[in-house]
Amino acid sequence: MAGRIRDHDWSTSPLGPVEGWPAPLKAALGICLNSSYPTAVYWGPELRLLYNDAWRPVADDRHPWALGRSAAEVWPDIWHVVGDQFAHVVATGKGLSTFDQMLPMRRGDAVVETYWDYSLTPIFDERGAIAGVFNQGVETTDRVQTTRAQKFLLGFGDLLRAGSGPDVDPDAILHSALDAIGGHLAAARVGYAEVDHGAAPTCHVLGDWRSRPDLESLAGRRYELDRYGEPARGEALSGRVVAVADVRTEERLSGGPVEAFGAIGVVANLIVPIARDGRTFAFLFVNDDRPRRWTQREIDTAQEAADRLQLALSEARATARLRESELRSAAIFGQAAVGMAEVSLHGRFLRVNDAMERLLGRSAEELAAATVEQVTHPDDRAESKSRMAEASATGQSFEFEKRYLRPDGSLVWAVTNVTRLVDERGRPSSFLAVAADISERREAERVRALLVAELNHRVRNNLATVQAIARQTRRTVRDPDAFEKVFDARLMALSSAHDLLTREAWSSASLDEIVRLVLAPYASERPDRIAISGAGVRLSPNAAVTMAMALHELAANAARFGALSVSEGRVDTAWSIDRENEIVAVEWRETGGPAVSPPTRRGYGSRLIERGVAQELGGEARLEFPSEGVIFTFRTPFSEKVAPQ
Amino acid sequence: MTDRPLSGLRILVVEDEAMISMMIEDMLIDHGVTVVGPAGSVAQALAMLDEEEVDGALLDVNLGGEKSFPIADVLTEKGVRIVFTTGYGESGVGARYPNARTLQKPFRTADLESALAHFPGPRGSGGAPEG
């Protein structure tokens, strides 16, 4: 610089030719030029600038133009800071030192934040007046920004960690991260987008942060990357950072892309891709609404932040998915209509749902202190235990029907399905038991079995009854034609009694109906010769059958030999209830028939009438044969078989 | 039947259905058996056993809803052989009374004969009990 200063044309400068420079200036300049430290001398009222070689980087692109010019002319961009500092030194005569002073300096087309350590020292002339300022200093931008970036990244890590945990919300993490990045980079907009590769690759902006509310948000939108030019489509999508200081003057951009960026208010653009194997799947973008030269440090910081953000997001999403799936499982577990329980390998209840509590008749708290064995019916314990042991060893699910024991002693049938669960390392951890109450089905099966047995019993007894009728008929009626007639009539009487009982679901039958039904065939021609009267009496099924058969024998006998064999004869059938003595009395009286004489031998009919009725219904039955007509009387106390209605 | 005639045996008949009991009675009488009863209920049958000695018994398992087992218990205690008649099949009866026979209704005369064939002879005639 010494040569340059010497050769400079100072003739038009207020400093005048070098030879005429005052001694203090020469002395100061001497020190300056001999110093290896960045040093400048500002001289005279206008603070004309002289500097050494080490100071040249400070001037940057203002060298060599700045030489000999006034400080205000050289530093219009930072004069609002340094102008006051110069004035202060000149006014007070005291030196000034400042460290990491921020100076928003114009560099190229852009204004950038720069940081400096420097001192301003007054230079006095021979008369003791301040004639200039001696300046030494170095740029500390790099150190300041390094420290800031480190601090930012430390804080960023804390921020992401704070967002994690069981209640993690990926959206909240994204927004607080973008907020932090935007603030740190002092950008206009910062956003995060995921890439959809395809014929026309698009990106989906998951969220963005803006420095001012009037800046448009891109969040939730999809953008076709082709529309933003080759750097966005080609480089960014293959994992390379794209840093554009000014999209309007960037040589790789023109026409459509410039307009596209303009439409979303972007002047400076930084795309930091997150890629795997050279293929970008997401990216962080940083926009500014003024030209901005992206420093390597900013790019590095953005890359570091983007990587960490992507990692935190994917973890958060995995956690959220897991939580959602757990919540869904819990909902299924809790709201299922079937009983569900998680049971330890030793058979302890770990958790149960509401349906299981209802099924077992015990609260979750009670079950927590119980084992499967304790709530299983003693008869099913051995099988339950051995099946669980087998499932534990083999991992095979099993299903079987078992009885559970409720605290009140009642039992409940349930079809129980047991599945062995394993932990994340594949080791058996517990059982999942699902149980559905099948008591109703079991009860229905039991009732059906009873009904089938009862039906079998009835059918067999009926066959035996028919067999008895056939055998007894054959004993007294030898002629085949006569046999058929008598047997058929008896079978019909039996069938009528069954019809009656079936109508009443085999509960009981009314005596009145039995009498009318059995006598109907004989009353059809001459209804007036058969009188039927009596109070309401009900007979049990077997009693009804026997009474019907006895009445049939009486009527058939009357039709062949007695009152119903002649037109003048009649039969009075009457019964009464003696409630005081709890007795039912039945009477069959024939009149107007041929003279009767007692039979020489008792046949099946009379045995059935006398013995059968008494045996089946209880009480006394008597068959008498006065000459006026047959009389049958039957008296029996109230019983399960015979009772007033 | 010829080597062990039923003639002279006293057999209790318990059957609640009159027509069936009459048939059984006739079957037995035809073989020279003296019928005790028939009884239609447990109470009736037990009352008869208080009064009379029997050589064997034909018991309907189901007597209008009640089981005839109390009668069977008394008979077993007395060492009297039993033939059950039932519409249900043999379930439960065989295990409870291993020495008893069971006849399913309806049965033939021949079935009744062979069931009764294991009865010892008339009391005091020295027939060896089975078992």
- pLDDT per position as a tens digit, A270-318: 999 999 888 899 999 999 998 888 988 899 999 999 999 999 999 888 8
Answer yes or no: do A367 and A509 share one domain.
no
Interchain CB contact of B79 with A (< 8 Å): no
Interface touch B64/A641, C-beta < 8 Å: yes
A77 and A34 housed in the same domain: yes
CB contact A607 to B (< 8 Å): yes
Question: How confident is the model over A217-234, as a mean pLDDT?
Answer: 86
Q: In this structure, are A243 and A281 located in the same domain?
A: yes
Q: What is the band of B40 on the pLDDT scale with cuts at 50, 70, 90?
A: confident
What percentage of chain B reaches a pLDDT higher than 90?
Answer: 24
Tokens 């958060």 sit on residue: A316
Cα–Cα distance measured from residue A300 to residue A282, given in angstroms and rounded to the nearest whole number: 17
Chain B residues within an 8 Å CB radius of A540: 64
- Confidence band, pLDDT 50/70/90 cuts, at residue B92: low
Residue A114 has pLDDT above 60, yes or no: yes
Instruction: Please answer whether residues A206 and A174 qualify as being in contact, where contact means their C-beta atoms are separated by less than 8 angstroms.
Output: yes
Nearest to B19 among A458, A465, A540 (CB): A465
Within a domain: residue A465?
Answer: no
Q: Are the Cβ atoms of B23 and A468 closer than 8 angstroms?
A: yes
Q: Is there a contact between A615 and B87 if contact means CB atoms under 8 Å apart?
A: no
Test mutation, A459, A542, A547, chain B, max B CBs within 10 A = A542
Nearest to A468 among B19, B88, B89 (CB): B19
Domain finish residue from A138, A157, A189? A138
Q: Which of A157-166, B20-29, B67-76 has the lowest mean pLDDT?
A: A157-166
pLDDT value, residue B5: 65
Residue type, A3: G
Contact A613 B40 (CB under 8 A): no
Q: What is the CATH number of the domain that holds A395?
A: 3.30.450.20
Residues A271 and A378 both lie in one domain = no
Looking at the fold, whether A286 and A340 belong to one and the same domain comes out as no
Token representation of residue A98: 């400042």
Residues A562-574 pLDDT 10s: 999 998 899 999 9
Contacts of B86 in chain A (CB under 8 A): 457, 460
CATH assignment, B10-116: 3.40.50.2300
pLDDT at A11: 84
Identify the pLDDT of residue A608.
85
Give the rounded percent of residues in chain A with a pLDDT score beyond 90: 55
- pLDDT score at B90: 55
- CA–CA gap between residue A430 and residue B122 (Å, rounded): 71
Report the pLDDT averaged over residues A224-242: 84
pLDDT value of position A558: 92
The shortest CB-CB distance from B16 to any of A458, A466, A542 is to A542
Cβ neighbours of B87 in A, within 8 Å: 456-461, 464
Q: Which residue has the tokens 């100072």?
A: A10
**Which residues 6-65 in chain B show a CB within 8 A of chain A?**
16-23, 26, 38, 40, 62, 64
Q: Answer whether residue A480 shows pLDDT above 50.
A: yes
Which residue in the block uniquely carries the two structure tokens 């950008």? Answer: A187
The pLDDT assigned to B89 comes to 61
Segment A423-443, tens digit of pLDDT:
888 888 999 999 999 988 888
Residue A615: which of B38, B86, B88 has the nearest Cβ? B38
Lowest-pLDDT range, A127-131, A209-213, B111-115? B111-115
- For B87, which of A456, A546, A549 is closest by C-beta distance? A456
User: Which chain B residue's Cα is nearest to A471?
Assistant: B23
Identify the closest residue of chain A to B87 by CA–CA distance.
Answer: A457
Q: What pLDDT is stored for residue B14 in this prediction?
A: 93
Residue A528 DSSP class: G
**CATH number of the domain that residue A150 is part of:** 3.30.450.40
A615 CB neighbours in chain B (<8 A) are 18, 21, 38, 40
Same domain, A131 and A156: no
Cα A85 from Cα A78, distance rounded (Å) = 11
**Does any domain span residue A291?**
yes
How would you write A241-261 as a 3-class SS string? CEEECCCCCCCCCCCHHHHHH
Closest CA to A554 of A573, A576, A580: A573
Asked if residue A243 is part of any domain, the answer here is yes
* Predicted confidence (pLDDT) at residue B105 exceeds the cutoff of 90: no
Closest C-alpha to A119, from A38, A52, A53: A38
In a domain, A559, yes or no: yes
Length reported for chain A: 645
Peptide bond into B106 cis (omega under 30): yes
> If contacts are CB pairs under 8 Å, which of residues 523-582 in chain A contact chain B?
540, 542, 545-546, 549
Residues A134, A155: one domain?
no
Do A567 and A629 fall within a single domain? yes
Closest partner residue to A468 (CB to CB) among B22, B86, B87 is B22
Burial of B114 (0-12, 13-18, 19+ CB in 10 A): middle
Mean pLDDT of A156-175: 86
Looking at the structure, tell me whether residues A128 and A191 fall in a common domain: no
pLDDT above 70 for B97: yes
Radius of gyration of chain A from Cα atoms? Answer: 58
> Looking at the structure, do residues A301 and A156 belong to the same domain, yes or no?
yes
Q: Please check whether residue A456 lies inside any domain of the structure.
A: no
pLDDT exceeds cutoff 50 at B2: no
Q: How many domains does chain A have?
A: 4
A376 lies in the same domain as A510: no
Q: Do B105 and A546 touch (CB under 8 A)?
A: no
Q: For residue range A84-109, what is the model confidence (pLDDT) as tens digits?
A: 999 999 999 999 999 999 999 998 77
Average pLDDT of chain A, as a whole number:
90
Interval A232-247 mean pLDDT? 86
All structural domains of chain B with their residue ranges? 10-116
**pLDDT tens-digit readout, A5-61:** 888 888 888 888 888 899 999 999 999 999 999 999 999 999 999 999 999 999 989
Q: Do residues A68 and A37 both lie within one domain?
A: yes
Q: How confident is the model at residue B87 (pLDDT cuts 50, 70, 90)?
A: confident
User: In the predicted model, what is the mean pLDDT of chain B?
Assistant: 81
Contact A553, A608 (CB under 8 A): yes
Please check the confidence at residue A593 and state whether its pLDDT lies above 70: yes
Containing structural domain, residue A557 = 480-644
Confidence of residue B109 (pLDDT cuts 50, 70, 90): confident
Question: Which secondary-structure segment (H or E) carries A514?
Answer: helix A511-523
Q: Is the pLDDT of residue B130 over 50?
A: no
A191-196 average pLDDT score = 94
Q: Buried b / exposed e across A328-366, counting CB within 10 Å, b at 16+?
A: eeeeebeeeebbbbbbeeebbbebbbebbbebbebeeee
| Probe site for chain A from B12, B15, B17, B19 (most A CB atoms < 10 A) | B19
Among candidates B40, B62, B87 on the partner chain, residue whose Cβ is nearest the Cβ of A616:
B40
Q: What is the pLDDT of residues A514-558, one digit of tens each?
A: 999 999 888 877 778 899 999 899 998 888 989 999 999 999 999
